[in-house]
Amino acid sequence: MKYGYKTPKEDSELSLNGYIVSQNGIRLSRGRLSDIRHVISSSKINHSKRETDDDSKFLEIMNGIKLKHRDLSKFPFKTVAKLIQYLCGYRSYLISWVDYDFPKTSFQRELVHLISRIEKEIIILNE
């Protein structure tokens, strides 16, 4: 099932629309995090497809990515600026999940690392 309830890893977890709810709290699912990783990786790999006056090849490749939580056939990245906005939005979203007062868990470290990767990609795309 693409959206909705999925079988959780543990009996005490509930997976719903990209979030995992457990007795330890709420966290993002692997699927939601994999979407942003796919966008970052594809962008990084395909920087060479960007031409000075025409980004159409690059955008065609980016819009061909299969994401779990965004249908790029219905909601494509029409410009590189829209892709940058998407990355900025995810960056803000992930920052809201980082709890700097909480002991560093593997999930917290993963979020900080992912935020850093997003920031690097935004800088490169703005060049």
Q: What is the pTM of this model?
A: 0.80
What pLDDT was estimated at residue 60?
A: 94
With beta carbons less than 8 A apart as the criterion, state whether 13 and 22 touch.
yes
Considering the domain boundaries, does residue 83 fall inside one? yes
Q: Is position 42 within any domain?
A: yes
- Round to whole Å and give the CA distance between 4 and 66: 18
Whether 102 is covered by a domain: the verdict is yes
Q: Is residue 118 part of a domain?
A: yes
- What residues contact residue 105 under an 8 Å CB cut-off, 6+ apart? none
Residues whose CB falls within 8 Å of the CB of residue 23, separated by 6 or more in sequence, listed in order: 12
* 47 domain residue, yes or no: yes
Q: Look up the domain containing 121 and give its range.
A: 30-126
Average pLDDT of the residues of the chain: 85
User: Given this model, what pLDDT does residue 114 score?
Assistant: 94
Q: What is the number of structural domains in the chain?
A: 1
Q: Do the domain assignments include residue 113? A: yes
